[in-house]
Amino acid sequence: MKNAVDIQVVPIGADQIDALRLSLEHAGLPTADLVLPARRFFRFDYEGVPLGYGGLEGQGQDVLLRSLVIESEKRGQGWGAAVLEQMEAMAATFGAIKLHLLTNTAANFFKAHGYSECPRALAPDHINQSEQFKSLCPSTATYLAKTIA
């Protein structure tokens, strides 16, 4: 696995949202709610080269892990695990105890990193009421959660 410590985390400002949107669209991930409140997005770089993006939605003990994507030419090299480790550490510093996510294609990746599949009905109300849960991800998306602190 790549070393998460070597990855630079760059907060995404409004002027960089288009690059995030393009990367997410290329990966087939939702983008309709990127500029809504209570979302923090980040770019992850290694030696000045962008690896991918990720985001966190909400605040408090239960936070939604949003749109983790590794650039296609960087996939299969261990960067996804390193970026996920960074995302979990950031979420913990923001006060999160548990991360939640929905995925159509990466359930096995997240399960391999300690996430457990859960019934969607068991998601906390504010997670269940997020745009991801309500409309952006289909009902067939896998809901996973992990205690991080």
Is residue 65 very low, low, confident or very high in pLDDT (cuts 50, 70, 90)?
Answer: very high
Check whether 148 has a pLDDT greater than 90.
yes
Please say if the pLDDT value at position 83 is more than 80. yes
What confidence tens digit (pLDDT) does each residue in 32-60 have? 989 888 899 999 999 999 999 999 999 99
Please check whether residue 68 is in contact with residue 104, taking contact to mean a CB–CB distance below 8 angstroms. no
- What DSSP string describes 4-38? GGG-EEEE--GGGHHHHHHHHHHTT---TTTTSSS
Rounded Cα distance between 47 and 50, Å, is 8
The pLDDT value recorded for residue 86 is 94
* pLDDT mean over 84-109: 96
pLDDT the model gives residue 4:
67
Q: What is the dihedral of CA 28, 22, 76, 65, to 10 degrees?
A: -70
The H or E element that residue 51 is part of is: strand 49-57
Which alpha helices (DSSP H) does the chain contain, by range?
17-26, 79-93, 107-112, 125-128, 131
Question: Is it the case that residue 2 has pLDDT exceeding 80?
Answer: no
Least confident of 3-7, 18-22, 116-120, 122-126: 3-7
Taken in order of first residue, the domains within the chain and their CATH numbers are 4-147 (3.40.630.30)
- H or E segment at 44? strand 39-46
Query: Average per-residue pLDDT in the chain?
Result: 93
pLDDT one-digit tens code per residue, 105-137: 999 999 999 999 999 999 999 999 999 999 988
The confidence score (pLDDT) of residue 41 equals 96
pLDDT at residue number 36: 87
d(CA 52, CA 43): 6
- Average pLDDT score over residue span 24-33: 91
Q: How much is the average pLDDT of 84-89?
A: 96
